[in-house]
Structure formats: C-alpha cells, structure tokens
Chain A
Amino acid sequence: MGTTMDMEEMLQKIKDRQWALADIDWDAPGAELITDEMRPKLKAFMADLCWIENVGARGFAAMAKKAPNDTIAEIYRYFHAEEQRHANAELALLKRWGMLEDGEIPEPNVNIRLAIEWLDKYADNMSLSVLGTVIPMLEVALDGALLKFLLDEVDDPICHAVFEKINNDESRHIAVDFAVLDMLGHAKARKLAIEFVSGVASPGLIIGALMYIPLLNRVRNEVVDMGLQPERLYGAMGRFKKLGDRGEATHRVPLYQVLKWHAAMVIDPKHPYHLLANTMVTLSDHYPKFLLRPIPSWFKELTYEPVSSTVDKPGTRKDAA
C-alpha cells in the first residue's frame, strides 16, 4: 500500500500534542479589535462554525465504532474529543468578544439541527466506507477551511493563537482521514460496490445529502455576507480532490467519486446546482420547528469554561466562574 501511515506513531503524536482552554489567556488584550460593525455577522458565523465542529465530533464518534483496528479507534476517540475542543475554544472566543451572556450557548440554525438529527439517527449505522468518505469532505470543506477565513478578517491575536492550535489538530485529522480513505480503497472491489449500493441507496444517506447540501450553501452564503471570497471555500473543496487523488487507491471508493463530482458543482458558481441548493436553504428556513426533535444531550456538552469543578448535568449548567 505504498506509503502507509504508521497509526501507532500518529496516535502517540496526538497524545503528545494535547492542549486545553486553560493554556490560553482569555483576558489578554486584543478583544477590542473586533469592530461593532463586524459583531452580528461574526457571531452568526462563529456560532455556525462551532456547531459544525460539534457535528464533526459526532461523526468521529460514529467512526470510532467502525474503525478497522484498536489504534484507529483510539485515534477517532481523540478526534471526537478534539472537535469538541475546537467548539469549546470557539465558544470561549465568542465569550471573550462579549458576544455571549453568562451561560449562553448560541442557538444552532435549522440546517445544523437537521444535520444533528440525521447524525444521531443514522451515523452509527453507516458503514466505515461511507463515513470515511463523508467525514474528510466535511473536514476540508467546512471544518478545516472556514477558520482560515476568519484570520483574514479578525486581528485579535488570541484568535490567531487559538486557530493555530486548531489548525495543527486539523492537519492531523486530515492526514488520518485521507490515509483511511486510501485504506478503504484497497478493499475488494466487490465489497466496495456492495457497501456503496447499500450505503448510497439507503434512506439514511439520501436524507444525509438533503441535509448536507443546504448546510454547505448556507455557510457559503454567510461567508459571502461577511464580505469574503467564496473562492476560498471552493479552494478548500478542491483540496478534497487534490488530497484524495494523491492516495493510491482512494479513487476506487465509489462514494469518493460522487463527492468529487458534487464538489465540482459547488465550486462552479454558475452551475444550476446552486439554484437547487439555495432553494433548499430557503425551504429549510421554513421547516416547521415542531418537527425538530429535542436536541440530544451530547449536543449540550459544549462549554467555554476552561475549568469544571463540579458536576454539570446537561441543561442544568452552573457557571463555575
């Protein structure tokens, strides 16, 4: 398998590179660099980013149950926690910028809510080859790429310090994501075909696509709203193809081909795809709230507090200060 990644070594590296909210001086000067004009949009964007981290976290939780061996399972356990860490750190930035009341956790938008419902319902039943293809896309397109935008816009040095840490984590996530994707490509063609057909034809994945398409476009629109170039997002999606094609066997994973094709449509702003996708965003805004199921408890574990001194049950969060 050409250049296989030494997963034991990777796991050790992950363990050696852990960091915590307590490592950062959240009261250091620099918060004042956020202009009033930026505030509302930045808050919306950061809130989405933070929830997207949490969605990624749930994806890794599902992956951990499917991992081909104990080492990779342990790596996914860490990645699950690290996505949560990113979300916590992003919340802490929001708090630092005075965008959160005490104990406030921003509301997820409807697309996130739907994505979360989907994850909770279907992710654990998806095969590794499906999850192993979808997660890298989520990572390069949303998780890894979005935070790079911010750095162009925001001058706060603490924001830069935090995102440097997050980026370092993400580079390990992406390296493992694509190593596993390549590993999947080495499976027997028959197995790949069966998993593809059963995975893609499953209502789970179809509904998943219906969640993902508007989510991606909503974020794209937000990016544009903030006055950023959507090309950066497209560049990130292009990276999915670049990294994937670098793998020896990745191209053999059928779902990879589908996502690549999808990415190509997204990248092309004139593609009629955007008509469909944006219609879906609008539609989802009208999604009846009463149909949304209660937010699962794992979703309420987010916190901007570096220290926890007592037991916080979801929903009864007390501020440790």
Chain B
Amino acid sequence: MSTTTTEKRPRTRKPTTTHSTLIIGAGFTGLGTAIKLREAGVEDVVILERADRVGGTWRDNTYPGAACDIPSLLYSFSFAKNPNWSRAYSPADEICAHIEDITDDFDLRRLIQFDTEVTALDYDRREGTWTASTAGGQQYRARTVVLASGPLSNASFPNMRGIETFEGKKILSAQWDHDYDLTGKNVAVIGTGATAVQIIPEVVKKAASVKVFQRTPGWVMPRVDVPTPKLAQAVFAKVPAVQQAARNALFLSHEVAATGLVWDTPVTTLIQHVGRAHLRLTVKDAWMRRQLTPEFRAGCKRMLMSSDYYPALQKDNCKLITWPIATIVPEGIRTADAIEHHVDAIIFATGYDVQLGGPPYPITGTAGRVLQEEWAGHAQAYKSASTHGYPNLFFTAGPNSGPGHNSLLVYVQGQIDYAVAGIKTILDKDLVSLDVRPDVQAKYNESMQKRLKRTTWMSGCTSWYLTKDGFNGAMYPGFATQYLRQMKNFRAEDYDMVSHGARRLWNVPAAQAV
C-alpha cells in the first residue's frame, strides 16, 4: 500500500514509553538542564538533537573569527567550569570542545538521540503528557518537556531583491563553507552586526578586496582579548574558588554596565562617550567616523565588542559602503549611487531567524491552542518559563528573558533551576498537569511592560528585540541578580495543579481542576 503514496515522509512510529522529561536541543542549555535534572534525581531524561553532534551555536557557527563576546569565565556554567580557557574570549571551536567535554564528564551522551529533529509537540490533556513528533517518524512521549532548541539556532539567506540571480558564491555566516577559499577573491560582506565585526578582520587578511555594506552602524566597544596566563590556568585548575572569585568579579562588572545598557541613564551617555572615543582614536577619516557613528542610544541594539574591526575597515583592501543596496545582480551588488560592485563571493552576516513568536515547529497545548498562533502578535510567559495553556512545558530563552549585555548562560542557569523545580514538583506530587494561572501571567507581563518603558531597548531604535509594532517580548528589564532571584523562587501557588491522586479520588476531569 505504501507504493501508492508519493510523499516521502517516513511512517510515524508511536512512542512505547513515557519518559520523565524530554529536552529538545543539545546545546549549552539542553545539556545544562540534563545535568541539573539528574543532580535532582530525575534520571529518565531523553535529549532530542537534530544534528549529529552536541554544541548548538558553537557547532554551527564556524565562520572565521567566531568567538564569544562575553568573557569565557562568565560565558560558561558555574557548575561546569573550564579552567583551561586559552583566551579571555574563547574561539568557537574551543567552546564547542568544552561542550563536548561537559557531555562526557557528566555522562550525558547516552541520553541523546542525535539526528532527531522535532517537528511538532502535542499535549495530551487526559494523560498529562507531551508527544514529540520527529522528522524521522519516531515519536517520543514524556510527562514534561524543556525547550532548549536555541534562540538563534536557525539562519537563512535574507529576502533581498535579486539574491537568486547572483552567480558567484553565496556564504551564510552560520553555515560557513570551509571548502571555499577566499584567498585572492573579491568579497562583499553584507551586514555590520555582532557576527560581521568578527568575520571582517579575518576576511580582510585573506581576500584581495573586501567591500563592507552597512545599513546601520552599531556601538563598538574595544575588546581586550588576551591569552590566559599559564599561571592563572594552573591556579584555576587547583583552586576552583579563585576561578569562582574571578567569575563573580566579572558578573558584578556586567551588572554595573547594566545601569547604562539596560536603562537609559547618564551611564548610557558615558558608554557612548567611550564608543565615540574608540572611534576617534582608531578611525582617521572624519567622514568615515560619521558613517560609523550610531544614531541610537547605546544598548538599544546589541553592543559590538571588537578592537580589530575599525582597523580592518581602514586596510587598503577594504572599503566601507553605506549606500543602500538597490539589488543583487548576477555579478554582484548594485548600490543606489548607480554603481555595480562585481565580486566573487557575498558573505551574508545578516543575522538569524529570530523566534519572537516561539520555536518554528508547532506546539499544540490544551484545547487545541497553538503557541505560534497565540504568540504571533505578542509573546508572553510567566517568568519567561511557563505559558498558560501549555502545562508541564518549560521554556528556556523564553519571552522577556534576554540579558542586555551579560552572559546568556547566567540567565539560562536561572531558567534551568526554575524548570528543574517545576519538573520536580510534577514528579514528586505526581501531577497530571502544572499550568500557570492566567491571572498571574497577565499581572507579571503588565509589570514587565511597565518596567521596560525606561529601558534603552525602547529608546526609539528598531532592533530584532522588537516586533514590527514595537512590542518588546524579548528582553528582561532588570539586573541579572533580580532575574536570578525570581527564577530561584518557584511558587507552586502561581500554578493550577491537577494530581493523578486527586483525579482518582474525586474523579475530577482535568478541565475543572482547581
């Protein structure tokens, strides 16, 4: 009978067991969650990962110059430190190797199903379980789910006029083609964001010419990237408390920066002075400085951290072009000043498919509600982790959880603590469902939006933090300390709970439970 179906979709295979927890994604977050769950005694955990390796962001982003722009000491989990970071800001391959190490050190590999892409999640209200469908046809069922499929894990070529006509080599920063040699080539780079400022200095070293096409300049802060002294590595390895102390100091300094980067304050102005001084000291030409001077408050968009970006732009084989791109043509790029730039390759550093409306796969909660539809307008959750109508499901990097300029992993650690507390509650109390109360969620979001008003993100720039109508469902308006405090505090009374025991005793259908 299968011969009549032309569709290639593999046959669905129903799940045979119900696990305690399904984790989607084997990046930092998914793996960190598994570590903490097992520490809390939850052993029956399955991690579904679409790739064939762990690492997430740091497995996928291998473009030249890829590195973290938050110091490695802070850009790591406090419960899985690495004493051997080679530099202040580690390169991508080193971070990826660290993630591989964590996987082995905590014996997580056997929990992971690789090459398993989740295509849908459906809630069964009667059983209080979630079923994950996957591209391969196999389904997985669990009582709880942690979404850790990454905030920036998908990227695609931008929808630019004429892009399909280009006859040269197109390179997407997040899917770098290492077989293509840029040596001696004429190259265009589109975009001047966090990724571009890392790529450009590297490409300028190799290519014959590099033309950088900029739409909006960002604030660039100097980044002092030094090798970690051998002595420090040795001390970190022997006396972990010293590394923790260094981490704490970095944490505090980022909290101080938040007074200018999260809220629009005189400190913001001070930070802009630093940015302007950086520009003045490193860029010779007055017109170029003008082209590179941002027109929004510092912090409103992601800060750029680089000490070699400005020098690279001024190299003899590099040129900054600020004319709008009129169209891409077979030979290159046409700008609005009527000139056609012929190039061998175009590097698109144009960002990621930002998921302001939730993960790209459909998530169906109680009463057939679909998350993507509910969040199509404005995403909201309670403490960025739970959303009413989707019981037993925990978000990471959820609505209003983004740090201004701090390590995402610091925030993720809070999200992991919260999810573990919720999952423990469900398992220990033998709950069918744990669903956040809509009134609690509404109140929380009201206060979020009120607090957001005074932040730099709302100071008038357009950024990927905001929806088209200017709603900010992405960033957390506060200090990391505040965020972590709220995430440490799991309040069961904020949730509607239905327990298996109660159902058996009173025969209460899930829908009417208190």
**B469 on the interface (CB 8 Å rule)?**
no
**B462 on the interface (CB 8 Å rule)?**
yes
**B340 on the interface (CB 8 Å rule)?**
yes
**B342 on the interface (CB 8 Å rule)?**
yes
CB-defined interface of B255-285 with A at 8 Å, one 1/0 digit per residue? 0000000000000000000000000000001
Q: Interface on chain B toward A: helix, strand, loop, or mixed SS? A: mixed
Partner of A308, one of B161, B286, B288, B340: B340
A308–B324 touching, CB < 8 Å: no
**Do A303 and B339 form a contact, CB below 8 Å, given A18-B327, A65-B295?**
yes
CB-defined interface of A144-165 with B at 8 Å, one 1/0 digit per residue? 0000000000000000000000
Give the interface centre of B161, B295, B316, B339 by most chain A CB atoms within 10 Å.
B339
Q: Interface on chain A toward B: helix, strand, loop, or mixed SS? A: helix
A310–B186 touching, CB < 8 Å: yes
A contact residues around B323 at 8 Å (CB): 81, 84
B contact residues around A303 at 8 Å (CB): 339
A contact residues around B336 at 8 Å (CB): 18, 78, 81-82, 85
B334–A18 touching, CB < 8 Å: yes
B contact residues around A310 at 8 Å (CB): 186, 208-209
A20–B324 touching, CB < 8 Å: no
Q: Closest chain B residue to A74 by CB distance?
A: B324
Bound CA span A311–B186, Å: 9
A81–B324 touching, CB < 8 Å: yes
**A313 on the interface (CB 8 Å rule)?**
yes
B contact residues around A311 at 8 Å (CB): 209-211, 316-319
Give the interface centre of A298, A307, A311 by most chain B CB atoms within 10 Å.
A311
B340–A84 touching, CB < 8 Å: no
**A306 on the interface (CB 8 Å rule)?**
yes
A contact residues around B425 at 8 Å (CB): none
**Do A297 and B285 form a contact, CB below 8 Å, given A311-B318, A311-B319?**
yes
**B337 on the interface (CB 8 Å rule)?**
yes
Q: Closest chain B residue to A303 by CB distance?
A: B339
A307–B319 touching, CB < 8 Å: no
B337–A81 touching, CB < 8 Å: yes
**Do A89 and B338 form a contact, CB below 8 Å, given A70-B462, A311-B317?**
yes
A21–B339 touching, CB < 8 Å: yes
Bound CA span A303–B295, Å: 28
Give the interface centre of B186, B337, B341 by most chain A CB atoms within 10 Å.
B337
**B326 on the interface (CB 8 Å rule)?**
yes
B342–A20 touching, CB < 8 Å: no
**Do A307 and B316 form a contact, CB below 8 Å, given A84-B323, A298-B287?**
no
| Distance of A272 from chain B, by nearest CB (Å) | 40
| Distance of A167 from chain B, by nearest CB (Å) | 15
Bound CA span A124–B288, Å: 14
A313–B339 touching, CB < 8 Å: no
CB-defined interface of A13-26 with B at 8 Å, one 1/0 digit per residue? 00100111110000
**B244 on the interface (CB 8 Å rule)?**
no
Bound CA span A153–B323, Å: 33
B contact residues around A89 at 8 Å (CB): 338
Partner of B288, one of A20, A70, A85, A297: A297
Partner of B339, one of A77, A120, A307: A307
A88–B337 touching, CB < 8 Å: yes
**A309 on the interface (CB 8 Å rule)?**
yes
**B335 on the interface (CB 8 Å rule)?**
yes
Bound CA span A306–B338, Å: 7
Bound CA span A198–B287, Å: 26
**A30 on the interface (CB 8 Å rule)?**
no
A20–B338 touching, CB < 8 Å: yes
| Distance of A9 from chain B, by nearest CB (Å) | 17
Give the interface centre of A65, A84, A303 by most chain B CB atoms within 10 Å.
A84
**Do A305 and B339 form a contact, CB below 8 Å, given A297-B287, A311-B211?**
yes
| Distance of A5 from chain B, by nearest CB (Å) | 20
A contact residues around B286 at 8 Å (CB): 120, 296-297
**A312 on the interface (CB 8 Å rule)?**
yes
A contact residues around B341 at 8 Å (CB): 307-309
Q: Closest chain B residue to A298 by CB distance?
A: B287
A contact residues around B339 at 8 Å (CB): 20-21, 88, 303, 305-308
A contact residues around B290 at 8 Å (CB): 124
Partner of B326, one of A20, A120, A124, A312: A20
Bound CA span A305–B331, Å: 15
Chain A residues 301-321 with CB under 8 Å of chain B are 301, 303, 305-313
A contact residues around B331 at 8 Å (CB): 307
CB-defined interface of B144-162 with A at 8 Å, one 1/0 digit per residue? 0000000000000000010
B285–A20 touching, CB < 8 Å: no
Partner of A22, one of B209, B288, B316, B340: B340
Give the interface centre of B295, B326, B338 by most chain A CB atoms within 10 Å.
B338
B contact residues around A124 at 8 Å (CB): 290
A contact residues around B338 at 8 Å (CB): 19-21, 84-85, 88-89, 306
| Distance of A276 from chain B, by nearest CB (Å) | 33
Q: Closest chain A residue to B322 by CB distance?
A: A77
Bound CA span A85–B326, Å: 12
Bound CA span A305–B342, Å: 12
A84–B337 touching, CB < 8 Å: yes
B contact residues around A313 at 8 Å (CB): 316, 319
B contact residues around A296 at 8 Å (CB): 286-287
Bound CA span A311–B331, Å: 16
CB-defined interface of A81-98 with B at 8 Å, one 1/0 digit per residue? 110110011000000000
B contact residues around A19 at 8 Å (CB): 338
B interface with A by C-beta (< 8 Å): 161, 186, 208-211, 285-288, 290, 295, 316-319, 323-324, 326-327, 331, 334-342, 462
- Provide a sorted-by-A list of 24 A–B residue pairs whose CB atoms are within 8 angstroms: A15-B161, A18-B336, A21-B340, A22-B340, A65-B295, A81-B335, A81-B336, A82-B336, A84-B323, A84-B337, A88-B338, A88-B339, A296-B286, A301-B337, A303-B339, A306-B340, A307-B331, A307-B339, A307-B342, A308-B339, A309-B341, A309-B342, A311-B210, A311-B316
Of all A-B residue pairs in the complex, the 4 with the closest CB atoms, nearest first, are: A81-B336, A18-B326, A85-B338, A84-B337
